[in-house]
A and B are shown apart, each in its own frame.
Chain A
Amino acid sequence: MKNLSKISLLATLSALVSSPLAAQEAMGIDEKVNQVFANLTGPFVGLIFAPFPGTSFPWIVMWLVIAATIFTLYFGFVQFRFFKHSIQLVKGDFSDPSDAGEVSHFQALATALSGTVGLGNIAGVAVAVGIGGPGATFWMILAGLLGMASKFTECTLGVKYRNEYPDGTVSGGPMYYISKGFNELGLPGGKILAVLFSVFCILGALGGGNMFQANQAHAQISGIVGDYPGWITGIIFAGVVFAVIVGGIKSIANVTEKVVPFMGILYVGAALIILLVNYDQIGWAFGQIFAGAFTGLGVAGGMVGALIQGFKRAAFSNEAGVGSAAIAHSAVKTKEPITEGFVSLLEPLIDTVVICTMTALVIVISQQLIIDPATGNYMLNEAGSAIATVDGNSGVSLTSAAFASGISWFPYVLAIAVVLFAFSTMISWSYYGLKAWTYLFGEGKTSELVFKIIFCIFIVIGAAASLGPVIDFSDAAIFAMAVVNIFCLYFLMKLVKKELQSYAARLQSGEIKKFTH
């Protein structure tokens, strides 16, 4: 019976795909979903991306960059001073052998990375470079380097103030450190801010951690098999995610978690091959990146346009200051919360400074962005909103085309990578969202199920809506998390400083030393 209903569902789907009339109707559903969604989220998006009065510069971008700069200065360039130590921690040099079997620093880092490495690195960079030009890459790298300090701050707090339950499970994240940290400092409003963060975290999980992923996965699949309604991809994805997070079919998640890192390595490997083959152009590409960073090279908005795009997409990709990583990192086994802070600062480095830069270099070198031979500047598309590309590609299809110019069959690998990245990011964010949800509504099977079902419904909406409104809402929701998180980090950073000073002193005195393995 079950099989019969499956067959009939498949038949209906294939009929929908094949019949032009039905397809038109289906497209109609997509359009309706898109319109309703755009109308509903418009005001929220407008508020988050409101420009400074009299300028076109969104205040939220400044908010993130100023925070990352302040943390960098306040902790005395911790990302550079303790870089070597971070690597040693990940290698396990300082891990107590009697803790074998617990979550290691490497595992916590890998889990957090699988939540951030993904479409932001593939599609997000293409959006940044497509709109802001190669110069956006420069600002992206800078944002990545500064963001390491933000990540350090939030992840140290994440471990320090996590909840450890009697059954041995742990829950951590900004909602916990905000309420407990404020309490410890005798500051009012901790609980309210924690609740506010949780609300935004749920929206972020549904937006960037879900809809954007579903949307771009659909774009990638339909780019290869031909155009078909997005909600079909949405339903399939929702079904698989449902099977994992509700059905508890761990094997799917397990396979993904194991395949995704290899996909990441494959992606970087392919980018490296393309760069090596075109090694003579790497100098030129960096020249474009530097020149574009300060002049804009004709992109919409000039230098500021490049800067906004670079900072925006870096934040969206590495999530530094957003608070999501603090949830992922909080399960590690360590007696020193700050060690997880050190480990987490490698995340923006790997995610943004290395992987995003690779993508950007491949796009620039592949010359998918059209340059006006007369001026040497980039030509804008008809709408004047982005740089004109060879086939009018944008987002993930621009990255795909760029890789295809070097390795013709790579779009197929990329399609699989995108789908897997999208899936693993969704699984990660379903957990972040769930933690925020249970913080608000309490732990319990029914409460958890409600969230998980909502999460799956949003996958369908995300796949059906068009990129514009989805990307706007995704950015807005994720940045809203950063508004609350960073505001609170300013108050809590002195707690991290205390930890840092104590740890650094003990490390120097030899009290904290390597274990012999």
Chain B
Amino acid sequence: MTVKIVIGLDGTDTGERALTFAKDLASRIDACELLVIYVIEWSPFTFQTAEENAKRHVRREEEIELATKRIVEPAVAALKEAGYSASGLVRHGDVAETLNKLTVENGGSQIIVGRASSDGFSKRIFGSSTQNLVMHADVPVTVVG
């Protein structure tokens, strides 16, 4: 049976470390697929101007394209080159919630993410996406430091 491991990237060095760890893990499993996911932080409950709304669809497409080209595609290409079976996804949403949901939907058995790199006020109040993921995920989560 194929094991599917999800790697959550955030475009920083910690994501790279998560990738390295996932590769190491995958090399120990016979049939393993790697799914690279990048979640663009977004909430449906924010306030925007009318002009921003009118251009939102275009911006969304640009954001997805940028994340796909800059982060997900290079990661997937590197994994494939190294001989792994890999695919990628880009979605908008709450990072922890979306990563967990996509993992469950795609039959992922565990999630690997880098340690939270964000700092500051909002993190103190709401916790980081990594903390939220660890607390609420439906599958085991490995946080790579």
Q: Write the residues of chain A forming the contact surface with B, with a CB cutoff of 8 angstroms.
A: 92, 95, 97, 100-108, 110-111, 114-115, 167-171, 253-254, 257-258, 260-261, 327-328, 331-333, 427-428, 431-432
Which residue in chain B gives the minimum CB-CB distance to A424?
B49
On chain A, the residues within 8 Å of B42 by CB distance are 100-101
Known contacts A100-B93, A101-B60, A101-B92; decide if A169 and B55 are in contact (CB<8 Å).
yes
On chain A, the residues within 8 Å of B16 by CB distance are none
Q: What is the bound-complex CA distance between A431 and B52, given in angstroms?
A: 11
Q: Is the CB of B50 within 8 A of A331?
A: yes
B137 in contact (CB, < 8 A): no
Partner pick for A104 among B44, B54, B64, CB 8 A cutoff: B44
Which residue in chain A gives the minimum CB-CB distance to B90?
A101
CB distance from B14 to the nearest CB of A (A): 24
B51 in contact (CB, < 8 A): yes
Total of A-B residue pairs, C-beta within 8 Å: 85
On chain B, the residues within 8 Å of A105 by CB distance are 44
Q: What is the bound-complex CA distance between A327 and B50, given in angstroms?
A: 9
B97-114 to A contact mask, C-beta < 8 Å, 1/0: 010010000000000000
Which residue in chain A gives the minimum CB-CB distance to B51?
A431
Q: What is the bound-complex CA distance between A101 and B53, given in angstroms?
A: 11
Q: What is the bound-complex CA distance between A95 and B47, given in angstroms?
A: 18
Q: What is the bound-complex CA distance between A139 and B56, given in angstroms?
A: 38
Q: Which of B25-72 contact A (CB under 8 A)?
A: 40, 42, 44-51, 53-58, 60-61, 63-64
23 A-B Cβ contacts within 8 A? Answer: A97-B93, A100-B42, A100-B92, A100-B98, A101-B60, A101-B63, A101-B64, A101-B91, A101-B92, A101-B93, A102-B57, A107-B47, A107-B48, A111-B47, A167-B58, A168-B58, A169-B54, A260-B47, A261-B47, A327-B50, A431-B49, A431-B54, A432-B50
Known contacts A257-B49, A327-B50, A331-B54; decide if A168 and B44 are in contact (CB<8 Å).
no
Q: What is the bound-complex CA distance between A226 and B44, given in angstroms?
A: 43
On chain A, the residues within 8 Å of B56 by CB distance are 101-103, 331, 333
Q: Is the CB of B50 within 8 A of A100?
A: no
Partner pick for B49 among A106, A169, A170, A427, CB 8 A cutoff: A427
A171-B54, A258-B47 are known contacts; what are 6 more A-B pairs with Cβ within 8 Å? A103-B57, A105-B44, A170-B57, A257-B49, A427-B49, A431-B50
Of A104, A110, A171, A332, chain B has the most CB atoms within 10 Å of the CB of A104
CB distance from B42 to the nearest CB of A (A): 5
Q: Is the CB of B57 within 8 A of A333?
A: yes
Q: What is the bound-complex CA distance between A253 and B50, given in angstroms?
A: 11
On chain A, the residues within 8 Å of B98 by CB distance are 100
On chain A, the residues within 8 Å of B60 by CB distance are 101-102
CB distance from A469 to the nearest CB of B (A): 28
CB distance from A105 to the nearest CB of B (A): 8
Q: Please give me the 8 A-B residue pairs with the lowest Cβ-Cβ distance, nearest first.
A: A101-B92, A104-B44, A331-B53, A168-B58, A100-B92, A101-B60, A431-B50, A168-B57
Q: Is the CB of A101 within 8 A of B49?
A: no
Which residue in chain A gives the minimum CB-CB distance to B101?
A97
Q: What is the bound-complex CA distance between A100 and B97, given in angstroms?
A: 12
On chain B, the residues within 8 Å of A427 by CB distance are 49
CB distance from A129 to the nearest CB of B (A): 29
On chain A, the residues within 8 Å of B54 by CB distance are 169-171, 331, 431
Q: What is the bound-complex CA distance between A427 and B91, given in angstroms?
A: 31
On chain A, the residues within 8 Å of B101 by CB distance are 97
CB distance from B96 to the nearest CB of A (A): 14
On chain A, the residues within 8 Å of B46 by CB distance are 107
CB distance from A104 to the nearest CB of B (A): 3
On chain A, the residues within 8 Å of B63 by CB distance are 101
On chain B, the residues within 8 Å of A431 by CB distance are 49-51, 54
Which residue in chain B gives the minimum CB-CB distance to A168?
B58
Of B45, B56, B60, chain A has the most CB atoms within 10 Å of the CB of B56
